[in-house]
Structure 1
Amino acid sequence: EGVFHPARDAGADAVLRPPESMVSSFQPPRGRSVSDSTVSALAPVELPALSVAILVVGTHGDVLPFVSLAIALQAKGHRVRIATHVEHRKLVLKHGVEHYPLAGDPKQLSRWMVASGGTIIGEAKRYEPAKLGMLREIVHSLWPAVTAKDPYDFDARPFVADAIIANPVCFGHVHVAEALGVPLHMIFPQPWLPTRAFPHPMSGLSVRAAESELNFKSYSLVDEALWMGNGFIINAWRARVLRLPPLRLGTLGGNLLSKLRVPFSFAWSPALLPKPDDWGEHVEVVGALSPPPSDPLAADAPAFDPRPFEPLLRWLRAGSAPVFVGFGSMLLPHTAALSATIVAAARASGQRVLVQSNWSSLHTAASSGGCCFDIGPCPHDWLLPQVAAVVHHGGAG
């Protein structure tokens, strides 16, 4: 009662014209720093404790920043659940945050992203029915993620979300928020709203180009291309599961986040990339969401035991600070050739190199004559202060 449902209450075209009350009530003055408050902006009353669902599709680097956010929200008295792939369940639970299993295989998603080059054209050229099948499974797992008990915890309490936080590649975020009639807030470490300053990261356009209308339009083009591919899945799910009317063709269903001015926080430093002038006041660049600390002396940090890394510590002490090379959760082809390239670069430069493997195994130590060292998963906040430089893949983490 009293919750605005765009397609139900004002016709499908209403998704393009949200009422002014939806977009202006909580607007901070432009240029103001993001505030940290427990008091409503509309009335001097304390905000109640909420049940917050955080929906995250992606790899380890996508999920870990949201763990930090969940810990901060819990410290303010809220109940927080992170709904993400089963692959990340241990990561979420070990930090004392509730988990709900979303469908989808993040390793396969990473493999597909590498194969497509991360562009919408690459996605079109490498169309696979299995992608749509996995997307359908992910979307259909979103409704229980915000309304059901954790199926892997027999003692789990009932859960219904009062608010939803999501990254945009969940795709069903705005629809479950509409079905529940609850607020939605988007967070992502990559640009995802139209701006003239730079193009959509999946557009394939040069990020070095000057400001242009083409940059601005690239966001709508990518969103609508994705909607053309998955809109029939979303509409069927809206009708059969969410009991919502389908979105009519021609209503720019892929651009709902922009058209409805859904609050959006971009998680990178404004010193690295300031907020573009054409992003509205419902959008903020809030800085990176730093991972939970590994230092056992830090407040609320899980105990960190460096003893398993003693061989690494001996290698670090034996010479100059190395260059760190890592590719995060990418599933890379031709790992043997990449390993050989890293060893050749280390020898040519005379530089010691620390190589980290995660979902792709790189082997450099045996053939490097001691100038390279291989490691697996390792806390970056502990490791990186001990290296001279970092070469990385530019992933979400």
Structure 2
Amino acid sequence: MRVLLSTYGSRGDVEPLVGLAVRLRELGAEVRVCAPPDEDSARRLAGVGVPLVPVGRPARALAPAAPAPSSIPERAAEVIAAQFEVVTEAAEGCDVLVATGMMPAAAGALSVAEKVGIPSVSVTFQQLTLPSPHHPPLAYPGRPFPPGVTGNRVLWDLDARSIEVLFGEALNGNRTAHGLPPVRGVRDYVIGDRPWLATDPVLDPWRGTPEFDVVQTGAWIAPDDRPLPDELVAFLEAGAPPVYVGFGSMPLHAAADAAPVAVEAVRALGRRVVLGSGWAGLAPVDDRDDCFVVGEVNQQALFARVAAVVHHGGAGTTTTATRSGTPQVVVPQAADQPYWAARVAELGTGAAHDGPTPTVGSLSAALTTALAPETRARATDVAATIRADGAAVAAKLLLDTVGRGTPPMTT
């Protein structure tokens, strides 16, 4: 069986597909991934022997800063057109397509599956894109919800209208050009009747809704056996466990001040620091030997060896830190990250920083909570409940449903 995995986003959108691809190949499937040609994602896929079919421009080129609201439809049109151009050819001969990533990319990929006549499944890595009476939607830049409107069902209706305004014209223009009928409601088309939620049920509990049947598989985690660099190992072994600070694929608010603030806050607590350079380009502030900078690294191995993890709150980083049993401080920057920060605080496995731009005082206070013995004990307890088999569950379910001729998703 041949499976095509499609996404458009940063490394955090690609990493779960690495986990699924590995498990699919163990079950005998051929797998390829359509994703933007960012170097970190390409290296990660090459490291597990999964072919990358590059789609569009690197995601990093589209994310130097928050997009102007007026540019969102234009960017969406570019992403959707790239899906039709590249994914159509990549999907030829495949038996099923798995679509994830930003809404317009998923809409384009699902349309390609429809065009070539193969079943598809729509996947999200956080539940805030799934309409529910239990939580509100995320607002798009430049389209805030009206003041005073708090009812979740009303907000989800407004969300559907925003998505239609932002992405509807581009999607239906491309569909018509490729011989497909227009869709009525982009969001409902992408979600379908049976979306998959690839998150851990302890970290991200889904409460259910009668509108559709959500399949929560568990998070898609790829085992990472890459060794840590020798220099990093030497640093770790030269003293007490340090604090890790990194913001992944986030450009970061006030990036120029982020490293000095983080280093001073960690030093104030008598700890050493490991800086993850990331897209924010975090770098040493002086030549003292209590600070070490890493680039691309095996976070599964590193997080298990540090005293705390300070990060932006991406779904993947939050899950990795939670599985490691290491306390966290989440400094949310955008999108779903405040949600993950709140979940960490609710579980008692760390602290949620108030806002995207920490000061020395605010970060030190959050770290004091994270470094408390009771937080470490709670993080250890929760780690034992986090599932490691989400990708294996999803791979078996995908191949079983396609093999039986049962569409994984209906629209």
1:215 to 141, 152, 161: 152
Alignment pair present for 1:77 and 2:28: yes
Q: Which deviates more, 321-330 or 162-171?
A: 162-171
**In structure 2, do the counterparts of structure 1 residues 140 and 109 end up closer, same or farther at CA, with 3 Å as the change threshold?**
same
2:124 equivalent in structure 1: 188
| 2:63 counterpart SS class | helix
1:278 equivalent in structure 2: 209
Q: Within 5 Å, give how 1:93-172 maps onto structure 2.
A: 93-112=46-65, 115=66, 124=69, 127-128=70-71, 131-148=72-89, 159-169=92-102, 170=105, 171-172=107-108
Tell me, in whole angstroms, the C-alpha distance in 2 between the residues paired with 1:231 and 1:68: 32
Q: How many residues align?
A: 305
Alignment pair present for 1:257 and 2:190: yes
**In structure 2, do the counterparts of structure 1 residues 217 and 91 end up closer, same or farther at CA, with 3 Å as the change threshold?**
farther
Percent identity of equivalent pairs: 29
**Runs ≥4 residues deviating over 4 A:** none
2:170 to 233, 255, 261: 233
- Which ranges of structure 2 fall in alignment gaps of 5 or more residues? 144-148, 317-411
Q: Which deviates more, 188-197 or 171-180?
A: 171-180
Could you tell me whether the CA contact under 8 Å between 2:243 and 2:266 is conserved in 1? no
1:392 equivalent in structure 2: 311
Tell me, in whole angstroms, the C-alpha distance in 2 between the residues paired with 1:78 and 1:334: 45
- Post-superposition offset of 1:327: 0.2
Q: What is the TM-score normalised by the length of structure 1?
A: 0.70
For each residue in 1:269-328, what CA deviation from the matched residue of structure 2 results, as whole angstroms up to 9, or x when unmatched?
Answer: 11122221315663122221112322xxxxxxxxx354xx22222221121111111101
Tell me, in whole angstroms, the C-alpha distance in 1 between the residues paired with 2:9 and 2:201: 24
Tell me, in whole angstroms, the C-alpha distance in 2 between the residues paired with 1:194 and 1:292: 31
Alignment pair present for 1:371 and 2:290: yes
For each residue in 1:51-80, what CA deviation from the matched residue of structure 2 results, as whole angstroms up to 9, or x when unmatched?
Answer: 221111111111011011012112222221
1:55 equivalent in structure 2: 6
**In structure 2, do the counterparts of structure 1 residues 332 and 273 end up closer, same or farther at CA, with 3 Å as the change threshold?**
closer
Write the letter of the residue equivalent to 1:253.
V
| 2:250 counterpart SS class | coil
Alignment pair present for 1:179 and 2:132: no
Alignment pair present for 1:246 and 2:246: no
2:248 equivalent in structure 1: 328
- Post-superposition offset of 1:216: 3.5
Tell me, in whole angstroms, the C-alpha distance in 2 between the residues paired with 1:167 and 1:272: 20
1:5 equivalent in structure 2: none
- Post-superposition offset of 1:144: 4.6
Write the letter of the residue equivalent to 1:104.
R
Tell me, in whole angstroms, the C-alpha distance in 2 between the residues paired with 1:334 and 1:343: 15
Could you tell me whether the CA contact under 8 Å between 1:70 and 1:97 is conserved in 2? yes
For each residue in 1:128-151, what CA deviation from the matched residue of structure 2 results, as whole angstroms up to 9, or x when unmatched?
Answer: 2xx4444333212323544425xx
| 1:340 counterpart SS class | helix
Alignment pair present for 1:269 and 2:200: yes
- Post-superposition offset of 1:215: 2.4
For each residue in 1:4-60, what CA deviation from the matched residue of structure 2 results, as whole angstroms up to 9, or x when unmatched?
Answer: xxxxxxxxxxxxxxxxxxxxxxxxxxxxxxxxxxxxxxxxxxxxxx32211111111
- Post-superposition offset of 1:102: 0.9
Could you tell me whether the CA contact under 8 Å between 1:85 and 1:102 is conserved in 2? yes
**In structure 2, do the counterparts of structure 1 residues 281 and 227 end up closer, same or farther at CA, with 3 Å as the change threshold?**
closer
| 1:172 counterpart SS class | helix
- Which ranges of structure 1 fall in alignment gaps of 5 or more residues? 1-49, 117-122, 150-157, 206-211, 295-303
Could you tell me whether the CA contact under 8 Å between 2:208 and 2:214 is conserved in 1? no
- Post-superposition offset of 1:174: 2.9
**In structure 2, do the counterparts of structure 1 residues 95 and 230 end up closer, same or farther at CA, with 3 Å as the change threshold?**
same
Write the letter of the residue equivalent to 1:161.
C
Q: What is the TM-score normalised by the length of structure 2?
A: 0.67
Write the letter of the residue equivalent to 1:391.
V
**In structure 2, do the counterparts of structure 1 residues 396 and 110 end up closer, same or farther at CA, with 3 Å as the change threshold?**
farther
- Post-superposition offset of 1:221: 2.4
Question: Which has a greater percent of helix?
Answer: 2
Could you tell me whether the CA contact under 8 Å between 2:88 and 2:112 is conserved in 1? no
Tell me, in whole angstroms, the C-alpha distance in 2 between the residues paired with 1:252 and 1:103: 25
- Post-superposition offset of 1:351: 1.9
**In structure 2, do the counterparts of structure 1 residues 335 and 203 end up closer, same or farther at CA, with 3 Å as the change threshold?**
closer
